[in-house]
Amino acid sequence: MALWYYEDYIPHYRLGLEIKETLFLGNSLYQKIQVVDSYLYGKVLLLDDIVQTTEKDEFMYHEMLIHPALLTHPQPKKILIVGGGDGGASREVLKHPVKKVKLVDIDSAVIEISRKFLPELGNWNDQRLEVLVEDAVKYLALSEEIFDVIVMDSTDPLPSGVAEPLFSKEFFQSVYDHLSEDGVLVSQIEPPFFQPEREQRHWESLNMFPLVKVYWGLVPTYPGGIWTYMIASKGKDPAASFKKLSFPTRYYTPEIHRAAFALPPFMQERLSKK
């Protein structure tokens, strides 16, 4: 009998994946964690029944989350990743000549399970990477460190979830205060079709930055397939910071970077109303 997994946390929307088997299922202190082996997307990591990443399309998300931000800062040396326990975001950051990457994820179980079942996602042995198991809100509140780029790769801000405080105005102010002069913040937001109120809230919470832009990319397993990111810069314009990278990529190119900031009218209209 066929075995199906359905993601249905967005009202009136369902994503179905036929799976071969469940490789891991358990509960950490913070969330339900699951790894399944699917026919079309390979291994899939789920948290609280929501797809976080899949073997087949993770590069699309991680390359687009990281490279535009790392190219926007003129000399990114110190990077903070908020969440990112699957390792994909830090793997992409470590392809740049950075000096230090701090990954702060609240849940050690996500890190352990990702390392075990999705080892190709991370570059865990790179000496420049420091992994801290902590709530990023508390971490930043107590830290005096300054970063060039802060990447938010957290779970979605569901009302009951651990990620909710990461999307508050106070947290974004704290992020701003921990960024260097030309500092850059990048965060994934919602698909442009569903839950536009989240984009709105995010946009308004970032008004301390002189420059905030939305860009988009494709991630087939995220709801709607089109994904959006918000990038805030104290210095350079992210839309104009495209560049040929010195390492191979499978999604990012300077042309894709430029095109990602060209928003279709239905996205642009929403932003101009704000």
Catalytic residue list: 153
CB 245 within 8 A of CB 252: yes
Q: Amino acid identity, residue 76?
A: P
Listed ranges 99-107, 115-123, 190-198, 200-208: which one lies at the site for ligand SAM (CB under 6 A):
99-107
Distance CA 132, CA 130 (A): 7
- Other CB atoms within a 10 A radius of the CB of residue 180 amount to 17
Tokens 């109303």 locate to: 273
Of the pair 109, 212, the CB lying nearest ligand SAM is at 109
Establish whether 155 is an annotated binding residue.
yes
Residue range at the interface with ligand SAM (CB under 6 A); choices 79-87, 176-184, 232-240, 256-264: 79-87
Closest CA to 267 of 220, 228, 210: 228
Report whether 90 belongs to an annotated binding site.
no
Residue 127, annotated ligand binder? no
Q: Which of 48, 86, 92, 199 lies at the binding interface for ligand SAM (CB under 6 A)?
A: 86
In eight-state DSSP terms, residue 238 is G
Would you count residue 103 as binding ligand SAM (CB under 6 A)?
Answer: no
Using rule CB under 6 A, residue 140 touches ligand SAM: no
Q: Based on CB atoms, which residue is closest to ligand SAM, 221 or 233?
A: 221
CB of 63 to ligand SAM, least distance (A): 12
In the shown chain, the binding pattern of residues 15 to 44 toward ligand SAM, with x for contact by CB under 6 A and - for none, equals ------------------------------
Which residue is associated with the tokens 């995010």? 202
Nearest to 19 by CA among 63, 33, 112, 1: 1
By C-alpha distance, which of 271, 107, 267, 138 is closest to 204?
A: 271
Q: Is 86 annotated as a binding residue?
A: yes
CB of 53 to ligand SAM, least distance (A): 6
Residues whose CB is less than 8 angstroms from the CB of residue 260 and which lie 6 or more positions away in sequence, other chains included: 64, 68, 215, 216, 217
Q: What is the nearest approach in angstroms of ligand SAM to the Cβ of residue 246?
A: 25
Rule CB under 6 A: which of 153-182 touch ligand SAM?
153-155, 162-163, 166
Residue of the chain from 17, 60, 80, 136 that contacts ligand SAM (CB under 6 A) = 136
Question: Rule CB under 6 A: is residue 150 a binding residue for ligand SAM?
Answer: no
* 251, burial (CB in 10 Å: exposed 0-12, middle 13-18, buried 19+): middle
Residue nearest to ligand SAM (CB): 83
Using a 10 angstrom Cβ sphere, with 0-12 exposed, 13-18 middle and 19 or more buried, the burial of residue 245 is middle
Six-digit token pair at 265?
A: 């009218």
Per the annotation, does 22 bind a ligand?
no
Residues 6+ apart with CB under 8 A from 31: 47, 48, 107, 110, 155, 161, 162
Binding-site annotation, residues for S-methyl-5'-thioadenosine = 31, 105, 135-136
Binding-site annotation, residues = 31, 62, 86, 105, 135-136, 153-156
Q: Which residues bind ligand SAM (CB under 6 A)?
A: 52-53, 82-86, 104-107, 110, 135-137, 153-155, 162-163, 166, 188
